[in-house]
Amino acid sequence: MERLQKVLAHAGVASRRAAEQMILDGKVQVNNTVVKELGVKVDPEKDVILVNGKPITKEQKRTFMFFKPLGVITAMSDPEGRRTVADFFEDVPERVYPVGRLDYNTDGLLIMTNDGEIAKRMMHPRYEMKKTYSLVTRGIPKEEELDRLRAGIRLEDGVTAPAEIEVIYRDRVKEEAKIEITIHEGRNRQVRRMFERIGYPVKRLRRIQIGFLTLKAMRKGQYRDLTDREMTRLLEELGMSNKG
């Protein structure tokens, strides 16, 4: 169930604010009843919604992979005027939203969708959607220190779940290490905090994979629809394979 004005905006009827005014003006009907109150929730898949007597067009469900660059806010707008992920999707008629987030100083793979059920399940712990990050540390952590992360380490918001960690290289000259870490939690700045906790701050961080989806062959700032095969597999892994 979603707020009526949100459904109208997603259907391309008007902006959210203009849709609210349409409701207040009595121009919107839901199941043959005029709605004049804001906050009414509807099911866009089942309810019959009319604007000025005409049915709205249901928004096509779309899911994208997006290579978020550094210095971009994972939000649809920013009061400080910084660039947001929404700026890259201005030519997409559907209003898609980010699934989860990537920090301003982190680049990499982000899923954008207007399918609320997909977004909800991808972020739900039950489905343990794994996320893999490539990072470079300041200093070279020892294996026993990385083992603390592999086992789960206590942060200020609790103990992390066990992580998968692979060292790609150790550079004694630059005093840094390149590491790939896979987690399935989504705590704020989790990877950076994990490495700070063992005394090796992260210099560069990129998310390279979510589940089976990877950044392969994508450029910074680029997005693309999931292929039919990818969508089929994603729906299967999220328990939505019978989704119409």
- Closest Cα to residue 129, out of 120, 137, 138? 120
- Active-site entry in 103, 115, 157, 228: 103
What whole-number distance in Å separates Cα of residue 1 and Cα of residue 74? 24
8 A C-beta contact, residue 146 and residue 194: no
- Closest Cα to residue 231, out of 218, 213, 214? 213
Q: Which amino acid is at 190?
A: Q
115 is catalytic: no
Q: What is the 3-state secondary structure (H, E, C) of the chain?
A: CEEHHHHHHHCCCCCHHHHHHHHHCCCEEECCEECCCCCCEECCCCCCEEECCEECCCCCCCEEEEEECCCCECCCCCCCCCCEHHHHHCCCCCCCEEECCCCCCCEEEEEEECCHHHHHHHHCHHHCCCEEEEEEEECCCCHHHHHHHHHCCEECCEECCCCEEEEEEEECCCCEEEEEEEECCCCCCHHHHHHHHCCCCEEEEEEEEECCEECCCCCCCCEEECCHHHHHHHHHHCCCCCCC
List residues with catalytic annotation: 103
